[in-house]
Amino acid sequence: MSSSRASSVDGREKIVSPLQEQSGPPLSKNKLKKLRRDQAWEEGREKRKELRKIRNKNRKERKRANAADQRNDNVPSDSAVGKRKAPDTTDPREAKSSKKTKAIQLPVSFVIDCSFDDLMLDGERKSLASQITRSYSDNHRAPFTSHMFISSFGGHLKERYDTVLHGHHHNWKGVRFVEGDFEEAAKQAHELMVGAQGGSHTGAFASNKASLEATEPPEQEVVYLSSDSLDILTELRPYTTYVIGGLVDKNRHKGICYKRAMDRGVKTARLPISDYMKMASRFVLATNHVVEIMLRWLELGDWGKAFLAVMPKRKGGVLKDGVMVLDGASAAAGDDKATDDGSREILREEEQVSNESVDELHEAGRPASAEVTGKSDEEQT
């Protein structure tokens, strides 16, 4: 139970709360609000856990009841022989799982470079953590998956995952967290891709004759995505590692990813957004949107369809005149997507920080109305 103490100032008593009882300068109102929100969130954790259990139990009971009603409705009288047909005893959950297509691993890797930890504000690091979580979820649920690596995983970002987000990332499947830089992650990715668990040449890779006819393991190839690159990414290739800059900075450090790649002698490329799309706003994408666009290309082999399926509605993106896509292109997706059970908890944790991020940006001297969704370095000019 929290308590407060009384202090005397000029003969008058002043009540000091535990949030203010600390050494150093007094906390601002925004920081106090943040601490109170964090405290309230932690105090309600067990209650939320119990509510989730109750909701899951009720949902399962409703499913069982609906399945039983459906089986009873599917028992008509057989007028020809005067007998009733045997009821369908198939468990609807088993039928649903049988229809779900198993994800296919492809020999391609995505690396999110998180070496910019010291260049971001706390609210921007929170946004990056949320984007990484969504990237994992999109890759985990995609019909054709990539090998995923999180490089330079340390500092404030790792601390947030281990503490505030309670280490849920340790349960992620198909993701490797590397303390080394993106080049170290690329080496590990190459060894994985050319190994027995590297993946198969299906999906968009089915027509890549060069890799299919190769008799020796291909050499390591790394491409760092940057809007400043002069080269356009026309296709994704097997046994290639694509690096995405994990930086949320509102373009304060524009061109830093390109410079980092050039200093290391690494190839660069930019997504062909300007070749396919007309946008109502700047061509700025969050890290998870870049990952999802490439995952869509692995499934569809068509940049136009991939952009239409992923571009947030607020961007107002439409295909340029003369750009054709195959039949069945998906409608533009919204900003928020459903995620798998393994990452929902982290995204719930992240939902509480949006207001905090605005407060911190305000304290740092930046407009409080600025978006805190976070953007990657993948901005087209």
Q: Any idea which residues carry the catalytic annotation? A: 249
In 3D, which of 210, 238, 221 has the Cα closest to residue 107? 238
- Counting Cα atoms < 13 Å in the Cβ hemisphere of 114 gives 25
Here the tokens at position 357 are 């991020």
Q: Are 190 and 239 in contact (CB under 8 A)?
A: yes
CB 277 within 8 Å of CB 317: yes
Q: Return all residues near 306 (Cβ < 8 A) that are at least 6 apart.
A: 293, 294, 296, 297, 300
CA end-to-end span of the chain, whole Å?
Answer: 55
The region, left, alpha or beta by phi > 0 then psi within -120 to 50, assigned to residue 252 is alpha
Q: Is the dihedral of CA 23, 25, 29, 33 positive or negative?
A: negative
**The two structure tokens encoding residue 288:** 């998870």
**298-332: b or e for each residue (b if 16 or more CB lie within 10 Å)?**
bbbbbbbbbbbbbbbeebebbbeeeeebeeebeeb
